Each structure stands twice: as structure tokens, then as C-alpha cells.
Amino acid sequence: MNSLGGRRTARRPFFMNRFSQVMIRFLSLIFPALLLFPVVNAGDLSEITDSLNSHPPELIYRIDITDDTISLAYATVHLNRGTLWLSRIDSVSNCAAFFDGDGSFVYRPPDDMETQQVQRFYGSDSAIVPFDEIYFAFPSGSKFPAAFIARAVKNEPPFDIRNKYSRIIKIPEQTLKYNLTLDIYKAAIENRQNFLWIDIAQGSAHTIYSYNPYDREQISLYLYSPRFSAPQLVSSCTDSEAAVPFRHEYDLFHYDISLDISTTGKSSLFCKMQLGLEQNGLKLLQFGFPAQYDVDSALSGGEKISYYKQKDHSLLTISIPDNNRAGDTITVAVAYRANLFYHLINRGVVQENLIQWYPHCDYRHPANFDIKYTIDKGYDFISVGEKQIDSLLDGRQLLEFTTAFPVTYASFNYGLFDTLAFVADSIPITIYSLSRAHGGKLLNRGNIKKVADDILGAFRFYSENIAPYPFKTLEVDDISVDYGQSSPGMVHLAGVTYDKSVHGVDDLFRAHETAHQWWGHLVVPKTYHDVWLSEGLAEYSATLYIQTVKKEEKQFHELLGAWKKAITTKGATALGLSDGYRAGAIALGSRLRSELSPADYNIIIYYKAAYMLHMLRYQLDSTDTDPGNFMRLLSDFANRYGHKLATGEDFIETVRPYLGARTDRFFKHWLYGWKIPRIEKKYQKKENGSVTLDLYVTDIDSDFETPYPVRFKLSDNSSLTVIYSLKLGNNHFKFHPGNRLTVKNVEFNPDYDILEK
């Protein structure tokens, strides 16, 4: 599809015979600008990209290699013996090189967290990969070929080299669903010459090293082999020696969306976006965009502009006018069509995508929204934002919602609902439950009162102890899926929680999703490393609701025990295959979704992060189960970073005045580290009624230290809990109860307050 949304006709080749092919080669040697590859700043984006994909860089230079080394950020490529083939590197945007021979690639991760991930995938602290072929892709102007060009000799590669090269250059598109060609073209025309892609091949296994100057973490390492269905992200890190600090390309700060909704066919959407440019020289802007959506046109300043949307790829690229500079504000718009809904037997209409049905950028990037909906009349409709218009036109309902301040994303829902409305702390709260008339034949929504009880209880607990509720209303709706999703001012709950209420499951689920109004929407995680600030804090806040509001002390400690079991278990779980804590540190965030152990994102980001917060609370509040220092800490954090992007480091700095000198050590082990201590416990009763304790700590770093509770049951049937400080190695203690009492029994860590194997 071209930029005008019409049908693009195939072009006949300009040169048709063997003589013409010879002439092309002759002319390309004399006049490089006549190459059949797009030159910098040429033409229509769709035509350019299609041409680049159809005509990859042709290898025309040969360099004989004996013992050459290429130094990269955190990596080294050693070419032992073989032949390096190089494409033209002047007057074209996309360049390539291909090495056939033996060599080795070594990636040395920059820190312990990345080292642990490399060890999981490669079995050693560094990724050491011998190879027999390697492919380099880079933009014109790259420094990469400088060391070789002086030795280059024009030479057409033999058939077997062309065949190997043809096979390996298809991997980004066919395997990763990644248009490498387009990204290299973008880097070339925007003068980002340090973009580099390397595919290190050994048989059917591929290690991919990427240096992308557009990313916050420029360096990425992927592993792809027959053991995986898709490439696995092994390591991702920032280049500490980058010449230019990372800056976003743009700040997308305002959406104006018109949506004509159809539940039986494709809905029509028009999305206008205001962006503040943050870099000079930008020519192409890229947005996340659902792969199955159809783009009809793109505009800027009322004029049609070029765009590229590849089928089955979740990326939209738009060409913006030249001569823009950092600090400029531009407006771009996209007209598109999408199936926003699908139909399930016995469930009725279900939304396909709750929160990414419009072009988006970066991780949870806040923006203002002005959304106009057109729907068939007769339905209840709820949306993120405050309702401005609700009217009828030509028999259809027109609604408009706007947000009062930037929010992370927008969602909506509509249908035929039963409702329960009330007011808490001057905030109107409405619970929506799908009725049978909505289209679901087996709906049995008899649980709306229990849903309302948990929503109200959690709402009041968070409002009173963390921060005032940040939105003007709270609307809680019923969606016919098996998960929950919180949006600003809205909570989408899985329909099953309206059907039944399982003790210890549904109450926690409802409180967790409600907590996201504070953790996720009031305080917004800045990067994927910080997602635990949303999920971990929501999970533990919900658990505090269970303990402090519902007074379910037994259930609270059962949850800690269940978390511990999940974290320390390796093998099959209810969530899928798990390595437990061995999967990696909490700070790895969304990278924990790997095929090695797909269950571990939930286990680490929800359970282990919540457990870390419990241990922090234990250190701050000792054995006191009432909110104290810990709740004041959460309130400080919420008020300091309300309506802001926050990082794990921001949370640590908020903790520091409370935890003092222990702060860095605590987070080093529990947030950035992955190890869990093993504690061997022995005790011996003495004739005088006292007890000696030996607690031997292993499997943890040398500077580890933790409080550790021991409960002594005494001869008068009373109990006394003593908190000891444990370090790596043997910890020896003596306990004497006094008052002629003796110790009957000893319980170690009886309430699961400290995470251990």
C-alpha cells in the first residue's frame, strides 16, 4: 500500500536484457550514484522500503582475512581466516558485509544482572560463540568498514557465497518480523551512522548483536536456535561510552481521536497526534501499531505524507516534512480501519485490544486524550476521561471524553449493563455488570455486591493511607475475558469475578486491579525495568488490604507461603514452566518473559517484588502488623512522584531516609540480584533452660545481611519472637528466657517474613 492509500501497480524493470545488466554494472563502477539502490532522501517511503527489501545490498568487494579483530561495545569479533565480502558503501543508504570462514564472537556483559542472563542462555559468564559465517548490516557513513576498505578488491562472489548471503539476510524479516532494512535506511538519512546489526551464525543457531542509537539501551543480544520458536532477548544495556546521551526522538503529548465503532465489521478511526521533537534531523517517526490494522492515509498540516505499514508487523513509520528541529511541535494524523472486537459463543462481543488500539510510543508514555466516539444508540458507554458530549445524530450516539491531565493510555467499554452506584470520599463509583441482554447466553452475574464491597474497601484503604484518589470518578466494568486491566479512572475486571467469589483469589484480584489507580496511573513506571513499581506494589497493596481491612491474618501469611513456594519452585507450575528465582532479577522487568521459563514474569514481577516489599516493611515496622513507617513510605513515594514517571532508583531514594545505611545493600540483593539465601538451622537445648542456635547462611553474596525472626515457645505456653541479624556463613546465638522458664520448641521464620529457600 502506498502513502495515498490507493493500489500500487508493479513497475516493469527499466532494463530488460543481458546487455542492459552488463551496462548497469559498468555504469555503477563509473557513476556510483546510478546504482539501483535508493539514495539518501529519495522519494516515497513505501516505494523506497519495498525497493530496499527487494534489492538488498550487492556484495562487490573481496577482502582476504587473516587474524582481524573488530572491537564493539561490550563485544569482540575475531575473524580468524576466511573471506570478507563487502557491498558498496558510498551514495547508498543500506550497506552490508558477509564473512565466510572461521572466527569467534565474545560478548562480555557489563554487570551482574546481565551476566546472570548470559549464563542462563549460554552456560558461561560471557557469550562465547564460534562461527563459520557472520553478517553485518549498517548505514552509509558507518565507521565499520574503514579497517577493511583499503584491502578491498572488486570481485563478484561465487554462487555458494551468494546463496549463504541470500539466506542470512532474510532472517530479520522472516524470523524476527523485524524490518531491518527500514531501520538502516532511517539511520542513514538521519545521520545515525553507528547503527549496526550483526548476525553470528553457527549451523542453525544465530546470535544477534545489535547497536541501535535510537534505543535507551543501545546494545541488545539475541539468541535464536531450533530450541526456541522466536528469538530470545538475552541481554540489553546502555553504552556507557556513547558520545551522545540518550534522548527520545519525540514527545507525543496529545491525541485527538475520532472512532466510529462497528462490532460486526471494521471500525473507522482517525487519530491526530501532537508531538514535540526532541532531536535534530528527524525524517521518519515510528509508532507501535497493531499488525492487523489497515492504514488508509497519513497527513501533516493537512497534506498527505508518506508512510509505511507492513502487513503482519506491529510498526507504523511516517515520513515527516524536512527542516524540523529539536523543540519544534508538529501534528501528524493517521486514518485507519480495524476489527476492534471479536465474538465468542456464550460471551457476546469481546474487545480485541483494550489499550493499544491507536498509534503509541515508548513504554507507558503519558499524553492528553480527546476522544470522540460514534456508536449505535441504546448502549451504556464508559471511557477513560471526563464525558463532555452525549448526543444523538442520525440515529447514532455521539460521545466525547477528554482527560484533565496526561495519562498512560485510553480504553473504553460498552454494552448492556446492570449497575450499582455509590459515592466514597466524594468520588462517584459505578460497578457495571454485563446483563444477559448483552448477547452472552450463559452470563450469571449474581456477584456484583461482593465486587462492590472489595472495590470500596480497597479504594478507601488506598485513599486514606497512600494518596487521595487521582481521578474524578471510578468506573469498574465487566469484560468477557479471563484477566483484569486497569486504565486511568477505570478498572476492567474479568467476567468470572462477577460470577463467583473465591476466598483469597477474587478479593485479591479486585484489590490488585484497583491498586493500579495509584501504582501505574498516579505513579507511572518509566521503563520496562520499573514495571514492578506497578505490578509488585499493586500486588502487595492488595495483600495489605486483605490483612489490614479484611483482618484476614491467616490468609495474609498463606499468601506469603504461596509466593515463597512459587519463587523457589523449578519446573511445571499453574502458570507454565518456571525457573523461579533463577529466572533473574526483579529489575529485568518484561525481559523475564522468555521461552526458557514463561511463567517467571508473573512469579518474579508480581510475587517476588511483593515479597521484597514485605521484607522492606518487616525491616521498617518489625513485627507490627498495623501500617506504620512502611505506609508512610508508600505515601511519600506516591505524593512525590504522583503524575510523574518514576524509576526503581526513585523508589530507593525515597526509602533511604527510612532504612538508612541498609538501603543500598537491601536493594542490591533483592531488586538487582537474583540469589536467595539457604539457611541451615540447628538448635540445642541446655540444662539451664537456654538454647543455642546455629544458623548457617549459604548461596548468597558475601555482603548479604538480613533480620531473621525466631519464635521460642516457652514452658508457660507463651511465645517470644526474637529478631536476629544474619550474615553469610555461620551465625551462632544463645537465648535464655529467664524467670525460671525453659524453651519447649523453636520455630524459624514462622510467618514467612524473610524469603529463603
281 plus 324 within the same structural domain:
yes
Across 588-613, average pLDDT: 96
Residue 335, C-alpha cell as written in the block:
486514518
Find the mean pLDDT for residues 662-685.
97
Same domain assignment for residues 682 and 715? yes
Among 207, 237, 267, the domain-final residue is 237
Q: Which is nearest to 51 in space by CA: 7, 6, 107, 94?
A: 94
More confident residue, 46 or 538: 538
Does 537 reside within a domain? no
Q: What is the model's pTM? A: 0.91
What pLDDT, on the 0 to 100 scale, is given for residue 383?
Answer: 96
The DSSP annotation for 313-333 comes to: -SEEEEE--SS--TT-EEEEE
531 belongs to a structural domain: no
Q: Report whether pLDDT(526) > 90.
A: yes
What's the mean pLDDT when you consider all of the chain? 90
Instruction: State the Cα–Cα distance between residues 757 and 565, nearest whole angstrom.
Output: 9
- In the chain, the largest separation of any two C-alpha atoms, in whole Å, equals 109
pLDDT above 70 (res 33): no
User: Do 92 and 117 reside in the same domain of the chain?
Assistant: yes
What pLDDT is stored for residue 346 in this prediction? 53
* Cβ burial, residue 264 (10 Å; 0-12/13-18/19+): exposed
First to last CA, the chain: 57
Flag whether pLDDT at 375 surpasses 90: yes
> What percent of the chain has pLDDT above 90?
76
3 state DSSP class of 25? helix
> Is residue 718 domain-shared with residue 622, that is, in the same domain?
no
Shared-domain flag, residues 65 and 197: yes
Measured CA angle at 670 (ends 668, 676), to 5 deg: 115
Choice among 104-118, 454-468, 612-626 with the minimum mean pLDDT: 612-626
CA distances from 397 to 350, 375, 400, 442 (A): 20, 5, 10, 28
Cell numbers at residue 467, please?
494518596
Rounded (5°) CA angle 97-100-102:
125
Q: Report phi then psi at 41, rounded to 5.
A: 70, 25
Output the pLDDT for position 322: 83
On whether residue 509 sits in a domain, the answer given is no
* Cell numbers placing 511: 484489590
The pLDDT, as a whole number, for residue 729 is 97
In a domain, 29, yes or no: no
What are 380's strand-pairing partners? 415
Dump pLDDT digits (tens) for 168-206.
999 998 888 899 999 999 999 999 999 999 999 999 999
Statement to judge: residues 165 and 290 lie in one domain: no
Q: Is the pLDDT of residue 437 over 50?
A: no
Q: Quick check: 309 and 15 in contact, CB under 8 A?
A: no
Residues belonging to the chain: 757
Judge whether residue 6 has pLDDT over 80.
Answer: no
pLDDT at position 8 over 60: no
Can you give the residue range of the structural domain that contains 263? 247-411
Q: Are residues 85 and 67 in the same domain?
A: yes
Whether 14 is covered by a domain: the verdict is: no
Question: How many structural domains does the chain have?
Answer: 5
Hey, what amino acid is at 391? S
pLDDT, one tens digit per residue, over 276-328 is 999 999 999 999 999 889 999 999 988 999 999 988 889 999 999 888 899 99
Residues 6+ apart with CB under 8 A from 30: none
Instruction: Give domain status of residue 135, yes or no.
Output: yes
Q: What is the CATH number of the domain that holds 396?
A: 2.60.40.1730
Do 218 and 322 fall into the same domain? no
- How far, CA to CA in Å, does 54 sit from each of 75, 103, 159, 166, 545? 31, 30, 19, 11, 58
What average pLDDT score do residues 585-597 get? Answer: 96
Contact, 755 vs 611, CB < 8 A?
yes
- What element of type H or E holds 406? none
313 and 405 belong to one structural domain: yes
Q: How confident is the model at residue 644 (pLDDT cuts 50, 70, 90)?
A: very high
Query: Span 344-358, mean pLDDT?
Result: 74
The C-alpha atoms of residue 198 and residue 225 are separated, in whole angstroms, by: 16
Q: Is residue 594's pLDDT more than 70? A: yes
Residue 573's pLDDT is what? 83
Task: With respect to residue 514, please indicate whether it lies within any of the assigned structural domains.
Answer: no
Secondary structure of 110-139 in HEC code, one letter for each residue: CCHHHHHHHHHHHCCCCEEEEEEEEEEEEE
- Statement to judge: residues 253 and 382 lie in one domain: yes
Same domain, 62 and 144: yes
Whether 441 shows a pLDDT value over 90: the answer reads no
Cα–Cα separations (whole angstroms), residue 373 to 46, 229, 330, 376, 390: 31, 39, 25, 10, 10
Note the pLDDT of residue 40: 37
**pLDDT band for position 24 (cuts 50, 70, 90):** very low
Whole-number pLDDT of residue 21: 35
Do 64 and 118 belong to one domain? yes
294 domain-assigned: yes
The model's confidence at residue 480, banded by pLDDT at 50, 70 and 90, is confident
User: Which of 54-58, 87-91, 246-250, 581-585 ranks highest by mean pLDDT?
Assistant: 581-585
d(CA 605, CA 195): 32
User: Cα(356)–Cα(487) distance, rounded to whole angstroms?
Assistant: 12
The residue out of 411, 429, 445 marking a domain boundary is 411
- Residue finishing a domain among 411, 433, 451: 411
For residue 350, what are the CA distances in angstroms to 225, 439, 537, 678? 36, 11, 29, 47
pLDDT computed for residue 345 by the predictor? 52
